[in-house]
């Protein structure tokens, strides 16, 4: 079987990671996502999914770092901020969570 080129390889790995995440296999998803980020460190959706996986694993600080990286790569995506706000809330950082959620809503509404 022919090895896929880098672009298709990244797309395949990301899709596999997203499917594993959707099925509740967080560690498996993280493995795929780490492979994506090795090949394409600017893959915004992979950084966001990594944050989601880390959040589910209780690794909140690492999740926040992943969301911050994703948002630096795509500051127009409010979903990244929504995810970050949820993590902040889980950490008991209510004020930060509210500020982040407000920013996400404004961005989503294009205010």
46-99 pLDDT tens trace: 999 999 999 999 999 999 999 999 999 999 999 999 999 999 999 999 999 999
End-to-end CA distance of the chain: 50
This model's pTM is above 0.85: yes
How distant, in Å, are the alpha carbons of 15, 17, 72 from that of 75?
Answer: 23, 23, 6
Query: How far is C-alpha 85 from the chain's CA centre?
Result: 13
Does the structure show a pLDDT above 50 at 2? no
Q: Where are the domains of the chain?
A: 6-108
At 22 the pLDDT is: 97
In the DSSP assignment, the letter for residue 108 is H
Q: What is the CATH number of domain 6-108?
A: 1.25.40.10
């Amino acid at each position: 079987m022919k090895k896929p080129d880098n672009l298709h390889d990244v797309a395949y790995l990301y899709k596999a990671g997203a499917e594993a995440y959707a099925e509740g296999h967080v560690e498996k998803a993280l493995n795929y996502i780490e492979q994506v980020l090795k090949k394409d460190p600017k893959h915004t959706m992979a950084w966001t999914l990594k944050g989601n996986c880390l959040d589910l694993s209780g690794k909140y600080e690492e999740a926040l770092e992943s969301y911050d990286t994703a948002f630096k790569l795509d500051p127009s995506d409010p979903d990244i901020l929504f995810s970050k706000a949820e993590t902040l809330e889980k950490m008991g950082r209510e004020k930060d969570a509210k500020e982040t959620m407000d920013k996400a809503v404004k961005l989503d509404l294009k205010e």
